[in-house]
Amino acid sequence: MIKENSYEAVMNRKNEIMKNAIGIDYAEFENKGVSFDYEKMMRETGYSLEEIETIQSNYAVGNTPIVELKNITKLARKVAPKGKGARIFIKDEAANASGSFKARRAATAVYHAKKMGYKGVIAATSGNYGAAVASQAAMQGLKCIIVQECYDSRGIGQPEIIEKARKCEAYGAEVVQLTVGPELFYTFLLMLEETGYFNASLYSPFGIAGVETLGYEIAMQCRERLGKDPDIVVCTNAGGGNLTGTARGLIKAGATDTKVVGASVNLKGLHMASDNQFNKKSFTTGHTGFGIPFCTWPDRSDVPRSAARPLRYMDRYVTVNQGEVFYMTELLAQLEGLERGPAGNTSLTAAFSLAQELDEDQIIIVQETEYTGAGKHINPQLTFARENGIEIKFGNPQDEICGENLILPSHPSLIKSKDINIDKIRKSYIKNAIENNNVSSLSDEDIRFLAKDCKCSEEFVKDVEKELLSIKSC
C-alpha cells in the first residue's frame, strides 16, 4: 500500500514515524493533563554517567581542558569596580572530535542507534550538531543524512551554514539543503520514514544525557585545579539541551551551589522563519530566536517530549548583542591566542560582563568553545552582513538594531549583558502548557510538575493559572 505523502498526511502520522525512528514510546511516561515523568524518561531511556563517559572516550570525545583566560580577566578587572572581576575560564570543547560540545550528544545517540540495529542516522540541523553526527557516524560505521535549513528563496545561504555543510560532507554524510520554512520538518519526517534510519535528535534523552559529562567534568576539574566549584557557569542557550545537560552534570557532581546562567544573542525583531529576514541575522544558533521559543515551549521539538528543559535548571538568563560577540571573538584571538567560533563566544561575551559583578577570587566558567572555519570566521560573516544591507560601525552596542546594523563596541567597558525577565518566560511556559494540552484546570500533580519544570514555587504556578482563567472569563 502506497502512503500519501502530502504535507497534511505526513504530519498526521508524525508520532508513528518518530516512535519507529527513535525507539521510545513516550506514552509510557505521560500522566493525565500537563505533566509527564521526566526523570523516569531520562533514567529508563538514557545511559548512566559512567556508561556515557566510556562511550565518549572510545570515540575521541570528552575530557577536554579548562583554560584560564588571564588576559581577558585582566581587561575585565580594568573596567570593573575596584575588587571586582572574577577569574574567567573556558572549557575548550573545540578539542572534541568534530570541534564542538555537540560531539558529546552525537556519540551517545549514534552509539545507541548502532546498538539498536539501525543502519543509519538522520539529524535536522543547520548547526554544529550535523558535523558531530556525521563525524560519529563515520567513526561508528553508520550511514548519515543531515537535513539543513540553508537558503532563502533566492538560493542565498549564510556562510556559517555553508561551512557546516562542507564539514558534514567531509565526514561522508549526505547533506540535504532546503530553503527556510515548514518544509524542513516535513522533509525530515519523510526521510526518516523512507530510510528507516534512527532519529539522532538533539532533544532525545540520549542527546541530553551525552552533555551531562560536560557539567560533571567542569566540577571535577575545578575542584582538582582550583580547590572549589565554579561560582557561575555560563551556557549559550538555543534549544536548551546545552544548558540542561550541563546543569544535570553539575548536579550529579554535587555542585549544587553553582549558578547556571543562560546566554543568547539578542535578535529581537527578526523572525527566524521569515524568508526576507533569514539572512539579516549574523548568528545561526545561540540566539533569542531559538532560546526564547524553546524556553516557553520546549516540546516544540522533533520528539513528543523534549529532554531539553532549560527553565528547570536556569538561575538567570541574559542576552548580548551581535556586535559584542564579534568584538569578543577578536579579543579571544588577539589577547589569548585562541581562535574560536561564535557560539561559545556568545557565552564568553556574557561572562566578560558578569565577571565584573563578582569578586576577584570568584570563578566563572564558559562551558564550551567551538571550532572556527572558513564560513564561521567573523570576516565572511561581516562581509555577508554588508552584502545584505547591514551597516557595520563602532559605537555603543546597546544602540544596535537587529536587521539594520551591527555595532562593535568602541571600548570594552561598553560590553554589557542584559537580563531577561525569567518570571515572564515562566509565565509564558505555564500558559503554553495549559493551552497546548487543552486542560481546563491544573491538577495537584500538574502544579508540582510545572513548578519543577520552571524552577519556581507552586504558588507561582497557581497565580499564573488564575490569571489565565480570568482572561478567558472576560
Among 421, 37, 424, 50, CA closest to 252: 50
Q: Which of 162, 157, 167, 158 is CA-nearest to residue 136?
A: 167
What was the pLDDT predicted at 74? 98
470 by Cβ neighbours in 10 Å (0-12 / 13-18 / 19+) ranks as exposed
CATH (one of 2.70.70.10, 3.40.50.1100, 3.40.30.10, 3.90.1210.10) for 55-99+206-419: 3.40.50.1100
Please name the amino acid found at residue 314: M
- Geometric angle at alpha carbon 289, from 314 and 151, rounded to 5°: 140
Q: Report if pTM > 0.85.
A: yes
How is domain 7-43+102-203 classified at the architecture level of CATH?
A: 3-Layer(aba) Sandwich (3.40)
Question: How confident is the model at residue 474, as a pLDDT?
Answer: 61
Residue-level pLDDT, tens digit, the chain, 474 residues: 578 999 999 989 988 998 899 999 999 999 989 999 999 999 987 789 999 999 999 999 999 999 999 999 999 999 999 999 999 999 999 999 999 999 999 999 999 999 999 999 999 998 899 999 999 999 999 999 999 988 989 999 989 999 999 999 999 999 999 988 778 889 999 999 999 999 999 999 999 999 999 999 999 999 999 999 999 999 999 999 999 999 999 999 999 999 999 999 999 998 877 888 989 999 988 999 999 999 999 999 888 999 999 999 999 999 999 999 999 999 999 999 999 999 999 999 999 999 999 999 999 999 999 999 888 899 999 999 999 999 999 999 999 999 999 999 999 999 999 999 999 999 999 999 999 999 989 999 999 999 999 999 999 999 999 998 777 766
Residues 6 or more apart from 276 whose CB is under 8 A from it?
152
Q: How far apart are CA 472 and CA 203, in angstroms?
A: 33
What's the number of CA atoms in the CB half-sphere (13 Å) around residue 306?
Answer: 23
What are the DSSP calls for 227-263, one per residue? SS--SEEEEE-SSSHHHHHHHHHHHHTT-TT-EEEEE
Cell of 278: 533569514
